[in-house]
């Protein structure tokens, strides 16, 4: 099973020193890449800006590490590899908006003290695009919500044509511990409460591995 994991945030720069991004440490994605590689699956980790000083010692040798910054770069890194993978864990907290205009020089504060207004436009929905054109690939999406989590997860699962979606709460951000719910196309298939992210990653990789094997057997 060839695995691609994305993790961390993406950044959309307004000027050389300021950006719009999401709060995401990247830990769960790092743990998933580790769990996949440790189980013998060739694994690539496409990551936005994350704390590599902290995470590098956790990443087993052999994981193909690809660093990106913007949503467009993350998209390109995935598209280049998509035909050659079997499973995508799309853990990354992708920035949904980018500034319409990028200022090549650092913006100065307005001298008149007035409000500064920026205009943003949508970035590409990477996972939705992949869901629309997937063939054999097994797609796992991640969903972070502050309200109506399960309902929203079902909507995103269907809209993005996902095989599984993992529902995360905001309390999991930056934490070592998390509570998640996993939904497949029929509904909730697992609830893991107050587990370490390392444990959640192992369970998730094993769940996907079992489903991937079952799919291969049913095709024979
Ligand atoms: N995702 C993506 N490209 C985007 C936004 C999200 O590929 N531009 C992926 C995420 O990596 C995640 C899934 O889609 O696996 C759900 O992301 P989420 O931010 O929860 O959903 P959105 O589709 O952005 O919806 P909203 O922000 O309206 O809740």
pLDDT tens-digit map of 135-145: 999 999 999 88
pLDDT at site 145: 84
pLDDT digits (tens, 9 = 90+) for 114-167: 898 999 999 999 999 999 999 999 999 999 888 888 999 999 999 999 999 999
Domains contained in the chain, number: 1
Taking the alpha carbons of 87, 185, 141, 129 in that order, is the dihedral positive or negative?
A: positive
Mutate to test the pocket of ligand 1, among 127, 150, 173, 181 (most ligand atoms within 8 A of CB): 127
Q: Which atom of ligand 1 is nearest to the CA of 165?
A: 15
With the CA atoms of 172, 173, 175 and 179 taken in that order, what torsion angle do they form, in degrees rounded to the nearest 10?
A: 10
- Asked whether residue 116 is domain-assigned, the answer is no
List the domain range (segments joined by +) for residue 154.
Answer: 3-97+121-219
pLDDT at 84 over 90: yes
Evaluate whether 102 touches 175 at the Cβ level (below 8 Å): no
- Alpha carbon 171 to its chain centroid, in Å, reads 17
12 occurs within a structural domain: yes
From atom 12 of ligand 1, which residue's Cα is the shortest distance away?
Answer: 142
Closest-CA residue, ligand 1 atom 17, reads 143
Question: Is there a domain that residue 162 lies in?
Answer: yes
Binned at pLDDT 50, 70 and 90, residue 213 comes out as: very high
With a 6 A CB cut-off, is 26 part of the ligand 1 pocket? no
Question: Does residue 11 form part of some domain?
Answer: yes
CA distance 96 to 115: 23
Q: Which CATH number is 67's domain given?
A: 3.40.50.10300
**pLDDT of 172:** 74
| pTM for this prediction | 0.96
Q: Is residue 110 part of a domain?
A: no
Q: How confident is the model at residue 174 (pLDDT cuts 50, 70, 90)?
A: confident
The answer to whether position 65 is within a domain reads yes
The strand order across the sheet containing 164-168 reads 64-67, 43-47, 3-7, 87-90, 138-144, 164-168, 177-183, 188-196
Query: Is residue 188 included in any domain, yes or no?
Result: yes
What mean pLDDT comes out for the span 7-36?
97
Indicate whether 108 belongs to any domain: no
Query: Which tokens is 131 given?
Result: 């869901």
């Amino acid at each position: 099973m060839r695995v691609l994991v994305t993790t961390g945030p993406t950044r959309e720069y307004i000027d050389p020193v300021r950006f719009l991004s999401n709060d995401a440490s990247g830990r769960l994605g790092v743990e998933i890449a580790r769990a996949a590689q440790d189980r013998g699956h060739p694994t690539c980790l496409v990551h936005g800006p994350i704390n590599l000083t902290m995470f590098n010692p956790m990443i087993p040798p052999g994981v193909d590490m690809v660093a990106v910054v913007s949503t467009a770069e993350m998209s390109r890194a995935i598209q280049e590899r998509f035909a050659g993978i079997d499973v995508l864990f799309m853990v990354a907290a992708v920035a949904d908006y980018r500034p319409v205009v990028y200022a090549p020089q650092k913006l100065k504060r307005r001298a008149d003290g007035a409000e500064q207004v920026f205009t943003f436009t949508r970035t590409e929905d990477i996972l939705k695009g992949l869901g629309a054109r997937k063939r054999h690939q097994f797609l796992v999406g991640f969903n972070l919500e502050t309200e109506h989590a399960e309902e929203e997860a079902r909507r995103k699962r269907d809209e993005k044509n996902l095989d599984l979606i993992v529902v995360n709460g905001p309390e999991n951000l930056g934490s070592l511990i998390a509570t998640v719910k996993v939904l497949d196309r029929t509904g909730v298939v697992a609830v893991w409460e107050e587990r370490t992210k390392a444990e959640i990653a192992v369970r998730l990789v094993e769940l996907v591995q079992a489903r991937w094997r079952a799919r291969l057997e049913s095709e024979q």
